Each structure stands twice: as structure tokens, then as C-alpha cells.
Amino acid sequence: MNHKKTISLSPIIKTLLPKQLYKKRFLLQDKGLNNHINIAKDARIIGNSTITIRKGDDNQITIGKGGKFNQLKIDINGNHNQVTIGEDVKFSGQLLVVGNHLHIYIGNHTTAIDCYILARDKSVNIGQSCMISRGIEIRATDVHKVYDIDTNARVNKAHTNVILGDHIWIAANVTISKNVSIASGCIIAAGAFVNKPVETPNCMIAGAPAKIIRQNVRWER
């Protein structure tokens, strides 16, 4: 039996929709202990969305006010993790946490379509007012390990969290790899593979591997 679990759902779900109908739109599965799931009253979650804590205790999921989510998949496997989604976020895609003491954070007013975010080994932070397009992968790890034959040392280890600043535009089919941070105001061109930190704000990045192709730019929705 679960203990000290807090789940707050929208009043429309509690009062107007029968439980069976609601489950067709949003499925919650919690197989751990002391997990806390807090969803703002006006957050809208549809389209066969699921929140799953498949194994783990003392995890926390928070979804802020005004959010709109379609085919949202949150999956946690581990202990003492956090998934925090800010206010007025529009998101479709998967948030996956594997491990312990990790987090995924998405800032206020950020939008994403068909986005896959993996926090494993390290965490992922996305700032406010970002615009994330289709086919995006943001990965804080390579998952599969590569070793040097002579020293047996791992050569593809994740050392730092993936951190995206505020007001970043990520165009379609971009992959952001481990150990990457991107300064605020940047534009990531379609098809880019970002595998190194980008410390210069308000620049345009393109290529595989990605590099700065223009500086002192700004963008609007």
C-alpha cells in the first residue's frame, strides 16, 4: 500500500467526468511509496497521456497552472527524483527519468512538440519561453557505455547536467547530447547535433556537430 501520496486533479475531472472516461484520456500508475504527484487544477492533459512511476519511492511530479499536454508520457524509474513543469507550458512527448536524485525541469511558457527528454546519469533543465519543434531528443547520457580497452576507463561518461537557457528556439530534428549547456536567446537550426556547450548568447547554431554560424541574432514566435 502507498503512503503519504498526494494527487491533486482538475475539478472538472473530479466532478464532471466519470472515472472510466477520464482514464481513457489520462492514466496514472504509481508502484512506489511516498510519491507525490501535484497537477494544477486547470492543467489539461489529453491524448492517451500517462504518468508512470514504475519503480521507486519519494519521487515528486509537479505540473503548473495553465498547461496543455497531448500524448504526454512521464516515466520515472528510481528514487528521490523530480519532474517539474512550469506554468503555461504546452508539451507533447516523453519525459524519462532513470536513476536516483535526478530531475527534469521545464520553465514557464515553454512549448514543445514531439520531444524526448532523458535524465539518466545527469539531469535536464530547460528555461522559460523556449520553443521546441518536432523530432527533438535531449539526452543527459549516452546510455550505452564505451570503454578504453587499455585502461578500462569509460570514455563517454556524462559529467554535467544538460542546461538550456531562456528563450531558445530549437528547430526540427535536433539532438542535444550529454554535457551540453546552451546560452539564452540562441537558435538551433534543423537537423543539428549539439555535443558541446554553447556559451555565447543570441547566436545561431547549425551542423553535425553543431557550431556557431552567426551571432547577435534575436527571434520571435
pLDDT at 95 over 90: yes
Q: Amino acid identity of 134?
A: R
CA pair distance 68, 176, nearest whole angstrom = 24
CA pair distance 164, 174, nearest whole angstrom = 14
Evaluate whether 126 touches 146 at the Cβ level (below 8 Å).
no
**What mean pLDDT comes out for the span 155-169?**
95
Higher pLDDT among residues 48 and 209, named by residue? 209
pLDDT in tens, 113-157: 999 999 999 999 999 999 999 999 999 999 888 999 999 998 888
pLDDT in tens, 2-38: 444 445 555 544 444 444 444 445 788 888 899 999 9
Q: What is the pTM of this model?
A: 0.87
Q: For the chain, first and last CA: distance in Å? A: 47
CA pair distance 131, 200, nearest whole angstrom = 18
CA pair distance 9, 41, nearest whole angstrom = 6
